Amino acid sequence: MRSRLAYEPRDGALFHTALTHRSATGPNNERLEFLGDAVLNLVVAHHLFAAFPEATEGDLSRLRARVVSAEPLAEAAASLGVGEALQLGSGELKSGGFRRQSILADALEALCGALYLDGGLAAAEAFITRLLGPRIAALPAPEALKDPKTRLQEYLQSRGLALPVYSVDEVQGEPHAQVFEVSCRVGALGQIAQGRGSSRRRAEQEAAERILAAIDSSSGVPRE
């Protein structure tokens, strides 16, 4: 693990704790996870702030979520072999905890906390930049992260047009497995589209996406 961190710890016990899940005996990584989460968010926020000078606060928050949410952190942890180095209790070992997304992500945050305590912000930043820098460089333009409802709303607002109206046309299925059918109407453009989904929100998003597609094909306006 030391070679993969590209860092020589001063306090080896600190890093052992960072890789010890609460299901195991002895000091665990929960406190280091708390600290590492803050360090990780600071470093990534700094990189995003510099990389996207025109992005709004909302844009930056969406971009950061693409980098520091559980799934990408777990993937990064797996690439380092964190799962193989984890200290887990017998129950977690039997249930495959070393592969669990939340456990891997938490352990990576704990390692960031350990690096900060052992080597300062510079050590933590070097590690985070090396590990997550390629993900940050590959992020799409901020506009691409907005959901269809938001994009449709902003398209209409930028042209001084009335906002879309969503209505539930039908709800099918049992309470635990419902399917919603929703209409989206944009009167100013004479557009209407339907969407289906397992929730009202998902159905509305699909309907909005279809309205955006119709606007794109009829007017040649690029979809953001």
In tens, the pLDDT along 58-99 reads 889 989 998 999 999 999 999 999 999 999 999 988 888 888
Phi, psi of 9 (to 5 degrees): -65, 145
Catalytic residues: 37, 109
Mean pLDDT over the full length of the chain = 91
pLDDT for the residue 219: 61
d(CA 196, CA 141): 28
Tokens for 95?
A: 């249930």
In a domain, 224, yes or no: no
Judgement on whether residues 112 and 209 belong to the same structural domain of the protein: no
Judgement on whether residues 9 and 81 belong to the same structural domain of the protein: yes
* Whether the predicted pLDDT of 137 surpasses 60: yes
Strands 191-197 and 179-186 come out as antiparallel
CATH code, 153: 3.30.160.20
Judgement on whether residues 129 and 172 belong to the same structural domain of the protein: no
Tokens for 214?
A: 């119709």
In one letter, which amino acid is 68? Answer: V
Judgement on whether residues 181 and 103 belong to the same structural domain of the protein: no
Say if residues 148 and 205 touch (Cβ distance below 8 Å). Answer: yes
pLDDT for the residue 222: 39
Domain of residue 173: give its range: 146-219
Judgement on whether residues 78 and 48 belong to the same structural domain of the protein: yes
Tens of pLDDT, residues 140-191: 888 777 889 988 998 999 999 999 999 999 999 988 889 999 999 999 999 9
d(CA 191, CA 186): 5
* Whether the predicted pLDDT of 210 surpasses 50: yes
List beta partners, residue 111. none
Judgement on whether residues 91 and 108 belong to the same structural domain of the protein: yes
